[in-house]
Amino acid sequence: TKFEPNGHKQTVNWCISQANAPQDKLQAFIDYGCGVVDCSTIQLGGRCYDPNTVEGHASYVLDLVYKKQNSCNTDVGIITTVDPSYEGCDYP
């Protein structure tokens, strides 16, 4: 939870891949999303490359696109209020 300057709580949401989303649909979203946002962080050597899974990479791209377009692709993504960031990989 972040706090706005007036002291009110601000709910922060992230868009991450659904647990049951088909791999091919997640990969298709990664391919689409990387044409819209910078995917260097999920490429080899990037801070969010590991774990090198379609689900992990799709979650990061879903969230970047969500932050840019204010829309979560509900075909493969789901909104969460739990920060998906992990060691070395900070979600925006």
Q: What is the pLDDT of residues 61-76, one digit of tens each?
A: 999 999 999 999 999 9
Q: How far apart are CA 40 and CA 23, in angstroms?
A: 21
**pLDDT, tens digit, for every residue of 20-44?**
999 999 999 999 999 999 999 999 9
Q: pTM (2 decimals)? A: 0.87
φ, ψ of residue 40 in degrees (nearest 5): -60, -30
Nearest-10 Cα torsion for 41, 47, 44, 49:
-90
